[in-house]
Amino acid sequence: MFELLQYLAVISAGLYGVLLARSNAMDLVGICGVAFIVAFGGGTLRDVLLDRQPLFWIAHEHYAWTLFGIAIVGAWIPRLPQRLEQWLLIPDALGLALFSIVGAGIAIETTRYEVSMFIASLFGVITGAFGGLMADVVCNQVPRLFLSTTPFYSVCAFVGCWVYLLLRFAGVDEPIALWSGVVVIVAFRLAAVRWDWRFPATSR
Amino acid sequence: MFELLQYLAVISAGLYGVLLARSNAMDLVGICGVAFIVAFGGGTLRDVLLDRQPLFWIAHEHYAWTLFGIAIVGAWIPRLPQRLEQWLLIPDALGLALFSIVGAGIAIETTRYEVSMFIASLFGVITGAFGGLMADVVCNQVPRLFLSTTPFYSVCAFVGCWVYLLLRFAGVDEPIALWSGVVVIVAFRLAAVRWDWRFPATSR
Amino acid sequence: MFELLQYLAVISAGLYGVLLARSNAMDLVGICGVAFIVAFGGGTLRDVLLDRQPLFWIAHEHYAWTLFGIAIVGAWIPRLPQRLEQWLLIPDALGLALFSIVGAGIAIETTRYEVSMFIASLFGVITGAFGGLMADVVCNQVPRLFLSTTPFYSVCAFVGCWVYLLLRFAGVDEPIALWSGVVVIVAFRLAAVRWDWRFPATSR
């Protein structure tokens, strides 16, 4: 079950990368590269910052295979963006939720030194949202994550990570804490999109 | 005293990040993110490249708290940019100086393998100036650091790091060497801004 | 011989960086910075992802000296871009080939955990091509690597790395496998430029 959802997260992130690359008129190399950055960028940054070896996509190589499969297939389907647009929201929210909670869990369980809940929640956000940020930067766009024109995204991850970490701290069983965090992130994200919750732009 | 100045460096870098994010019409997430990148980006890159664990903002978590405090407060103050502009130069120069000298000192004291003064001076520049570079890249601007339109910045850090490293090599007491380097960087930077010292643009 | 070619690769990458920086009207700091990123960015990313310490440009400091020498000289030669343009293709192809094959070899020989040929080929591409990608991003351009407007580049590296890895796997002597890979990449790249081989742009 968990394995299946991890796959779904990678697939969803990969599809987002394909759409982003296609909207920039990139070729197959660009699609593979951007999909890779979206799906694995956040987790790779987390592993490098926490000095975890080997990186998760080296240890679990089938994720990389799956991703390139999606990129190659996704590159050739005509009018993919139009077809996917209305379907992508839910897997995207699920991908954000799963990556974030897994990232926060990995950080809090680091054994080489103590990591506080605050730092762990930051690693949750980094794992969930920084792949998309890096891909936006590579595609020469100001990261949507940072703009007031898009509904809450990293805020959902941040809140959900705290739900997970606090339940864990309170002694709740790991799977219950984990799924509570995931559900909060997905629900919060869908609600934010539905009712357009966002921070105001700051004035100059 | 040193602790206080470190704080001042983080605060100054954080304020620069707030201004940069506000000039890009970002929201609260963007302000926190950009402030984080400016203040901690260079030091994080240094720690990753030298494989130092844990990262300094994980080991000294209060820096991260301070930074987010600045970002959150800084996001809501009206007309902050106009109010700060004339005051930011000195803490910015001080932040550059402190981060650079600390970075060079950390590199030269690495014990796992020998690091030459040349490499240490590069790490000084990376620590002091690359946070701003990364933030410029994330904000979709060519890094000001690299442009001929701005007065010397990384050059000041480079020169000051050599002053520090050579005094250290000559057997001068660590605190004296350290403060000499800091003073040189601050003075050089302020003079560069005052008299508009810079490299010419290269022709195509 | 090998040492000489490594130097040639660094020089070629450095010159490409100088041209890129000059086309963006950068100053001496920008030229040094961009040349550094082009020449050492891919190898540094490889070393960080594989947790190899010390980084190659810290262990072999003369590469860094050579690079800054090129950058400083290259900054002052008038009309350098026009003079170099017609000569840069071959050292650039050679640089791509050497960096890629060396990168794939380092990845496959990692002893701390097993790295498959697929992952090793990705590290070859990262080592050979990601320095240029990072430099494009820093210069605020969509990476040429990812665009359909340029002939095959990373594809040549990918194919050549597989030639090298498969020959190695088949028991062929290391030097023969290595040079076969290098020759394939150089020949493939020159042919791609000559006959304008590329992937089509994907439709939105």
Written as one string, the DSSP assignment of C43-59 is: HHHHHHHTT-SS-HHHH
Residue of B nearest to A156 (CA): B29
- pLDDT at C44 exceeding the cut of 70: yes
Shortest Cα–Cα distance, B184 to chain A (Å): 32
The reply to whether B51 touches chain C by the CB within 8 Å rule is yes
**Averaged over B168-190, what is the pLDDT?**
91
Length of chain A: 204
pLDDT digits (tens, 9 = 90+) for C179-203: 999 999 999 999 998 888 888 777 6
| Closest C-alpha among A83, A96, A90, A99 to residue A19 | A83
The reply to whether A29 touches chain C by the CB within 8 Å rule is yes
Q: Do C26 and B51 touch (CB under 8 A)?
A: no
- pLDDT at C204 exceeding the cut of 90: no
Tally C-beta pairs within 8 A across B and C.
84
More confident residue, A204 or B122: B122
Name every chain A residue with its beta carbon within 8 A of the beta carbon of C201.
Answer: 25-27
Name every chain B residue with its beta carbon within 8 A of the beta carbon of A154.
Answer: 29
At C158 the pLDDT is 94
| Residue B182: strand pairing partners | none
The reply to whether C54 touches chain B by the CB within 8 Å rule is yes
Chain B: partners with 3+ C-beta pairs within 8 Å: A, C
At A53 the pLDDT is 85
The reply to whether A180 touches chain C by the CB within 8 Å rule is no
- The percentage of residues in chain B with a pLDDT greater than 70, rounded to a whole number, is 94
Chain C: partners with 3+ C-beta pairs within 8 Å: A, B
Residue environment code for A172-191, b if the CB has 16+ CB neighbours within 10 A, otherwise e: eeeeebbbbbbebbbebbee
**Averaged over B62-79, what is the pLDDT?**
87
More confident residue, B134 or B4: B134
Q: What is the ipTM of this complex?
A: 0.88
Distance between CA atoms of residues C35 and C80, nearest Å? 15
Name every chain A residue with its beta carbon within 8 A of the beta carbon of C112.
Answer: 53-54
Distance between CA atoms of residues A100 and C103, nearest Å? 31
Option in C22, C24, C44 nearest B142 (CB): C24
A60 CB-contact burial (10 Å; exposed 0-12 / middle 13-18 / buried 19+): middle
Q: Please state whether the peptide bond connecting residue A151 to the residue before it is cis, i.e. omega within 30 degrees of 0.
A: no
Handedness of CA A37, A123, B64, B83 (dihedral sign): positive
- pLDDT at B84 exceeding the cut of 70: no
Domain ranges of chain A: 2-76+84-195
Distance between CA atoms of residues B120 and B110, nearest Å? 10
The reply to whether A22 touches chain C by the CB within 8 Å rule is yes
Q: Do B201 and C25 touch (CB under 8 A)?
A: yes
**Averaged over C4-9, what is the pLDDT?**
77
Residue found by looking up tokens 């800084």 in the block: B74
At C77 the pLDDT is 80
pLDDT digits (tens, 9 = 90+) for A155-171: 999 999 999 999 999 98
The reply to whether B85 touches chain A by the CB within 8 Å rule is no
Q: Do B155 and C29 touch (CB under 8 A)?
A: yes
At C75 the pLDDT is 84
Q: Do B203 and C22 touch (CB under 8 A)?
A: yes
- The percentage of residues in chain B with a pLDDT greater than 90, rounded to a whole number, is 44
Q: Do A59 and C148 touch (CB under 8 A)?
A: no
The reply to whether A111 touches chain B by the CB within 8 Å rule is no
Q: Please state whether the peptide bond connecting residue B78 to the residue before it is cis, i.e. omega within 30 degrees of 0.
A: no
At B189 the pLDDT is 92
Q: Do A23 and C204 touch (CB under 8 A)?
A: yes
Contact yes or no for C96/C181 (Cβ under 8 A): no
Q: Do C75 and B51 touch (CB under 8 A)?
A: no
Q: Give me the phi and psi of B26, to 5 degrees please.
A: -80, 165
pLDDT confidence of B1, banded at 50, 70, 90? low
Name every chain A residue with its beta carbon within 8 A of the beta carbon of B65.
Answer: 118
Residue numbers in chain A where pLDDT is lower than 70: 1-2, 80-87, 203-204
Shortest Cα–Cα distance, B133 to chain A (Å): 13
Q: Do A118 and B48 touch (CB under 8 A)?
A: no
